[in-house]
Each structure stands twice: as structure tokens, then as C-alpha cells.
Chains A and B, each alone.
Chain A
Amino acid sequence: MPAGHGADSRAGDVGEHAALAYFDSVRHAFARAALGAGTFEQGLQVGDVGVHLRFAGQELARALLPALGPVLHSGDGRPDVEVDLWDERSTGVGIPEPVWRLRDVVARGDVRSLSGGRVRVQVDSWNKVLTMWDAQLRRGIVWAGDAQRLPYWLPAAPLRAILHWSLATRVRHMLHAGAVGNERAGALLAGPPGSGKSTTALACLEAGLGYVGDDYVLVETEPAARAVSVYGTAKLHAPSLELLPSVPALQLSPDAQKFVVDVAGARPDLVRRSAAISAILLPRVTRGPLALHPAAASEALRALAPSTILQHADESATGMAVMAALVRQVPAYHLELGSDIAAVAPAIRDLLKASR
């Protein structure tokens, strides 16, 4: 049996039939919300995947759409993916009682007994957000308790679970990584929170190197390694913000541990829809001079895979294979950022020139 998904069945597990029936009842709830509040529709184009979003009311659209600037699309033609979204506070319509038990929900938020099946679920009890996906019909649904009380990081990178489920293939995956560069040469920035991905990405933006993303990007490994922009925002701690004077902080909620900046809004000329991946950089905040030195492919996989996979609900084995393919085809480097932020972009520019 391939590792990754248990085929065990325990008392209390929810079956696919029950999950599909529940999905239908949530769709009925959405229909009631839409009837009362009206609908607002928006298309997205992420890579070659067209997504059609249908919001009941405006509240959730107002919260989630600003960060999706790079992928907003007029939505011509038949979409590959359809997603219904609503919030309870502004529409007065909640969700039916779930069919799974909370002890069947793993810490990351997915329902254990539905793992790997047709219906995918992500439950965020703390923030009151439910996301469901029907892999066969390629249809998603998102409910939020209150669009105005989402944690700061959610509107900064919205619809991650839906995009992850709908975009994942054998050669494509949403990765927890930043990316900079252009169609000829670019770098993927990998590492845990606090390693300096955002600072590096925004230093490159300031220097005109091309900004694709600071935290989550879509990565394709075929026909060539490429990073596709999904979110136009960046999340930064206050000290990094001071180093980047031309990018104003636009959004700050009381619970924010980081500042969220609207990069696509502030510097649309420097945001790229996609970039080649000719190197994987593993930044680290250090003192002293900047240093770049080769890293093993396994180190790059260690920097990319755990943080990507532990945040994503489901599809972990496919994602791991995509990342392994990527680190096998692209060289990796440790990037010790040093004390001089102005040195970062020129060093990356030189590296990318040499890699072309």
C-alpha cells in the first residue's frame, strides 16, 4: 500500500456518501444566502486554470478579492473550477450541522476519514471557515462565519485550500515559497517563516528584478520549472518594512503579527505573472556580509516540503513528488542575507545572469 493515506475504517468515520450529501446541503444553504443577498461573480485565471467565483453578497468578496489581483480575470469561456462563497454574518445563513466529528479532524484542519477521497474538507473551527471541494465535479464551496473577523493572514492569501486542490497535478503544485525574476531567469525562495523570504522578495521588487510572490506561488515542473503569481500581497514584520520605504503598509488588523502590504497595488509595474525557476534560494537572516553558496538538493527539499505539506490539506504525496522533481532539476543555494539589504538584489541578479 502506498504510504500517505490510511485505508483503515473506524467507528465514527464519515463515508463519501454522507460527505456528498452534506456538500449538497451546504450548497442549498449557499443558494438561500444568494437568494437573500444577491450574487457577485468574479473570474480568476491561475496558470491555465480558469476559476469562477460566485459570492452571495459582497462582504466576503470585499475581504478576499484584493489579494488575488494578479489572477483576477474577466472569466470568458467555460471555467474549469466553480466555487460558491458566502459569509453568515452579512447574509444570515449558516451551515448545517457537520456530519464528521471533531475528533476526526486532524490538527491541520482536514477530516481524516475523507483524506484522499472525492470530497475534501478543511475545517478551521477557530476562525469559523469551512472549505469543501468535490474533486469529481471540480466544484468548491467556502463558508465564513464573519467576513470582517477573519485572521489577518487569511485575506492576505485567500482560497488556499481550494486553489491547492484544484491546481494540484503530477507536475504542478501550490508551494509555500516566494519567487522573483522574469520569464528568462528567476529564483524560488524557500524556507520556514522568518527565514527572510518576504524581505528577499521585496528587496528584489525594489531593485526592479520582478516580483512573483513572497509566500505562496504556483510551481510547474514541466515543460520547464516556472513559478506563477497567485497573490499580490506580501506579509512582513515591522523591521523589514522599514527597510523597504517605497512599499507602504496598507492593511493592519488588531490581531496582525505582520504587516500586509499590497504589492500589486503599490508597484503593479514590477509584479510579474510568472517567472522561470533557474535557482532555488534558501534565505537565512544573518549579520555580516551577504553570502551565497551551493546547497544540496535534499536541503532544498527539506526547506520546501515540510512547510508546504503541513499547511495544505490533502494531496501531500503528489505535492512531495512535484517538489522532489523540482529540486532534482534546479540548483539550490544558501543565501545568507547579511546586514546590508541593498546587497541582496544585486547578488541575486548576478546569480541569475550566470545561470541563464
Chain B
Amino acid sequence: MIHAPNIVHETVDRETIVIHLETGNYYSLTGSGADIWALLDGAGSAAAICSELARRHGCPEDEIRGQVESFIADLVREGLVDDSDASPMTVPPEKRNGAGGPWAPPKVERYDDMRDFLLVDPIHEVDQTGWPSRRVSEEAAQ
């Protein structure tokens, strides 16, 4: 599993902010969400991530699996993560770190208040006088 293209992200104070450049939605990942996000970056399958988090927090995998899988499914549905089959089955050694402490369920919060900030949609709202020969270009492309 990898982070999808067309997103940017940063983690500050154990909260990850992810921006989807094409939809204009942005997301806040909290709890164990920031850790899962870091592990998703080219590192592992859901099973590998559960196993790593169980080790870090000293809790049974069964207890957290449902939460982790549902969190990852949310990210896939929002187009933030590519659900690829090529994911390694284990978390690579360089990713096996991170704080222990008590387990905090991962949470994702979606914000869509910035969508209007994107410019008008060039396909559907373009000036009908046709700059720059839009119809000709599009017809030629068909």
C-alpha cells in the first residue's frame, strides 16, 4: 500500500494533515492515525501494520485489527491511499520504531470547506466563446 498521487501531507504534534489536490478535501489523522499513515508509505499491508502496532503498544493484534482495517478502508475510499497488491507482507526494519504507550484508536476527519477555493472547473464552466479553441481541441482528441 502506498500514499496515492495528488496528495500532500505533513505530520505535526502526532496529527497528520493530508490534502487531496484534485478534490480539494483535506483530512486530519489522529490517535494512531499518524503512525498508520507513516507505516503505509511504501511499507506494508494492513496485516503487517497491525502486527507492528501490536508490538509497539503491547496489545493483542485481534484487539486492534478491526480499527486499523476500517481506518485504512476509509483512506482508500477517500483516494488517499492506493490499495496495491504489491505491498510487502512485513514492515521493513527502518520503520520499526515509534512511541509505545497506550493504544489510541485511529481517527480520520474530513474537511471539505476548501473545495470552492479551486478555480472553476475548466471542462464544464469554460466560457462558451471558446478560449482557447476548446471545442476544436476536445473534438480532435476524441
Check: A150 CB closer than 8 A to any chain B CB. no
Check: B71 CB closer than 8 A to any chain A CB. no
Task: Give Cα A298–Cα B17 distance, bound, in whole angstroms.
Answer: 8
Q: Which residue of B lies closest to A100 (CB)?
A: B137
For residue A99, give the distance in angstroms from its CB to the closest CB of chain B. Answer: 9
Check: B94 CB closer than 8 A to any chain A CB. no
Check: A41 CB closer than 8 A to any chain B CB. no
Considering the complex, which residues of chain A in the window 104-139 have a beta carbon less than 8 Å from any beta carbon of chain B? 105-109, 123-126, 128, 130
B residues in contact with A95, CB < 8 Å: 132
For residue B17, give the distance in angstroms from its CB to the closest CB of chain A. Answer: 5
Q: When A125-B122, A192-B114 are in contact, do A145 and B12 touch as well, CB less than 8 Å?
A: no
Q: When A1-B42, A109-B119, A126-B125 are in contact, do A305 and B24 touch as well, CB less than 8 Å?
A: no
Check: A38 CB closer than 8 A to any chain B CB. no
A residues in contact with B99, CB < 8 Å: none
Q: When A1-B42, A302-B17 are in contact, do A310 and B10 touch as well, CB less than 8 Å?
A: no
Check: A256 CB closer than 8 A to any chain B CB. no
Considering the complex, which residues of chain B in the window 70-105 have a beta carbon less than 8 Å from any beta carbon of chain A? none
Q: Which residue of A lies closest to B130 (CB)?
A: A125
Q: When A125-B131, A311-B117 are in contact, do A103 and B138 touch as well, CB less than 8 Å?
A: yes
For residue A147, give the distance in angstroms from its CB to the closest CB of chain B. Answer: 15
**Cross-interface CB contact of B21 among A1, A8, A145, A310, cutoff 8 Å:** A310
**Cross-interface CB contact of A302 among B7, B28, B41, cutoff 8 Å:** B28
Q: Is the CB of B125 within 8 A of A3?
A: no
Task: Give Cα A126–Cα B130 distance, bound, in whole angstroms.
Answer: 10
Q: When A97-B133, A102-B126, A307-B117 are in contact, do A107 and B6 touch as well, CB less than 8 Å?
A: no
Q: Is the CB of B122 within 8 A of A306?
A: no
Task: Give Cα A311–Cα B11 distance, bound, in whole angstroms.
Answer: 21
For residue B130, give the distance in angstroms from its CB to the closest CB of chain A. Answer: 10
Q: Which residue of A lies closest to B117 (CB)?
A: A310
Q: Is the CB of B5 within 8 A of A128?
A: no
A residues in contact with B21, CB < 8 Å: 4, 106, 108, 309-310, 316
Q: When A5-B5, A97-B137 are in contact, do A128 and B24 touch as well, CB less than 8 Å?
A: no
Which label, helix, strand, loop or mixed, suits the secondary structure of the A interface?
mixed
Interface mask (A153-175 → B, CB under 8 Å = 1, otherwise 0): 00000000000000000000000
For residue B95, give the distance in angstroms from its CB to the closest CB of chain A. Answer: 16
Interface mask (A61-104 → B, CB under 8 Å = 1, otherwise 0): 00000000000000000000000000000000001011001110
Q: Is the CB of A301 within 8 A of B127?
A: no
Q: Is the CB of B10 within 8 A of A306?
A: no
Interface mask (B119-142 → A, CB under 8 Å = 1, otherwise 0): 111110111000111101110010
Considering the complex, which residues of chain B in the window 32-83 have a beta carbon less than 8 Å from any beta carbon of chain A? 41-42
Q: When A103-B141, A301-B12, A302-B17 are in contact, do A145 and B28 touch as well, CB less than 8 Å?
A: no
For residue A266, give the distance in angstroms from its CB to the closest CB of chain B. Answer: 28
Choose, from A27-35, A198-206, A320-328, A337-345, the stretch at the interface.
A320-328
A residues in contact with B125, CB < 8 Å: 126
Q: Is the CB of B12 within 8 A of A328?
A: yes
Q: Which residue of A lies closest to B16 (CB)?
A: A298
Binding site for B on A (CB under 8 A): 1, 3-8, 12, 95, 97-98, 101-103, 105-109, 123-126, 128, 130, 145, 192-193, 296-298, 301-302, 305-307, 309-311, 316-317, 319-321, 323-324, 327-328
17 other A-B residue contacts (CB within 8 Å) besides A6-B5, A109-B122: A101-B141, A102-B122, A102-B138, A107-B120, A108-B118, A108-B119, A123-B122, A126-B120, A193-B117, A298-B13, A298-B15, A298-B17, A306-B17, A310-B118, A320-B10, A321-B10, A324-B12
Can you give 5 A-B contacts (C-beta < 8 A)?
Answer: A97-B132, A98-B132, A103-B123, A126-B125, A296-B15
